[in-house]
């Protein structure tokens, strides 16, 4: 599956993740499913990691509810979540796979392992807990001026 995100949103995610490093940054993504089966991220939400650790994240449930309400108000669909890996590659850890329970979601992981060269990848994770299947999605970063999300 192809998923698109604007350069300005990628840049804002990177700034937010750097600001919170060495803790994992996290949030939600919202947008639209396109007729061709692709997904367009139209808004990125920056939420609090209640765990305050570099090893995993727990999204603040009140902030999550507020984000979902905002999505509905703006006519956007929840597309998935995103989080950073401050020191490891942009791929789902065993814990990421274990906690991935929505087969419709896209899971974006932003690696800051090489701080000057952040890497963002998107994944589809599905299956029973003992046999999760991970598939990398075709993530395209679109150049654009102006921001579509909260500029962090």
Model confidence, pTM:
0.91
Q: Which fold has domain 2-134?
A: Cytidine Deaminase; domain 2 (3.40.140)
pLDDT at 145: 58
Query: How far is it, in rounded angstroms, from Cα 6 to Cα 148?
Result: 8
> Exposed, middle or buried: residue 56 (CB in 10 Å: 0-12, 13-18, 19+)?
middle
pLDDT at 146: 47
List the helix and strand counts (H, then E) for the chain.
3, 7
pLDDT at 133: 95
Show the low-confidence residues of the chain (pLDDT under 70): 145-152
Retrieve residue 85's tokens.
């890996």
Alpha carbon of residue 43 to chain centroid: 11
pLDDT at 55: 87
pLDDT at 131: 87
């Amino acid at each position: 599956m192809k998923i698109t995100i604007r350069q300005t949103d990628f840049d804002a995610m990177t700034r937010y993740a750097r600001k919170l490093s060495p803790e994992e940054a996290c949030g939600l993504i919202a947008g639209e499913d396109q007729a061709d089966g692709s997904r367009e991220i139209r808004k990125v939400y920056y939420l609090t990691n209640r765990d305050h650790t570099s090893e995993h994240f727990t999204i603040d449930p009140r902030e999550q509810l507020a984000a979902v309400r905002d999505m509905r108000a703006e006519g956007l669909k929840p597309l998935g979540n995103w989080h950073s890996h401050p020191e490891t590659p942009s791929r789902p850890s065993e814990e990421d796979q274990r906690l991935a329970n929505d087969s419709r979601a896209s899971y974006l992981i932003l690696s800051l392992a090489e701080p000057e060269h952040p890497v963002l990848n998107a994944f589809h994770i599905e299956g029973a807990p003992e046999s999760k299947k991970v598939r990398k999605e075709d993530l395209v970063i679109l150049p654009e001026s102006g921001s579509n999300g909260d500029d962090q």
